[in-house]
Amino acid sequence: MDITSEYVAALRSCLTGEGDYTELSARLQAQDGGERSAHIFFALAGMALHLAARRRFPGGYTDADVIRLVGQARVMLGEGYEIDPLVAEATLRGALGDTAATANLEGLEMGTALFPLLIVLLEQEGITTDRMDDFLAEVLPLAEAWLAREQAASLSDGTR
């Protein structure tokens, strides 16, 4: 499944604050339907979190590493945007390959933690606005491969 450049632009806008994310999102929803566009967008964002987390913890991680990163995300956001620390910890563990950590979480729950975690990880890696396109170019094939595997699995079990 191809992810169009508009999805990449929407994620870039969301992460950098440049451009009008709301307008891009509305256009994608009108073009592809709300459920499908959200699915594609969160596959792209989820793979961005996966890549950033794997880069941050290439040799593995400890519970303390996860708790510290979640704490940094919560501090960065400050008052006015609360993320559940347990959901954020599970989301980060899921991005690092612990599928059991996210087994009982809804996509929307994980979405509230995904972007703060991703922003902190990108800041720690020094990925600023001028390096964002290179990072997203690495994320895109991962997200397309994940969506293709998901589509193949759903076709083989007859759910689509």
Integer angstrom CA distances of residue 8 from 23, 78, 151, 156: 14, 27, 20, 29
Given this model, what pLDDT does residue 158 score? 65
Name residues of the chain where pLDDT drops below 70: 1, 157-160
Q: Do you know the residue count of the chain? A: 160
Q: Are 37 and 29 in contact (CB under 8 A)?
A: yes
Given this model, what pLDDT does residue 125 score? 94
Given this model, what pLDDT does residue 47 score? 96
What is the distance between the alpha carbons of residues 158 and 64, in angstroms, rounded to a whole number? 42
Given this model, what pLDDT does residue 159 score? 58
Given this model, what pLDDT does residue 97 score? 92
Given this model, what pLDDT does residue 160 score? 54
Whole-structure pTM value? 0.90
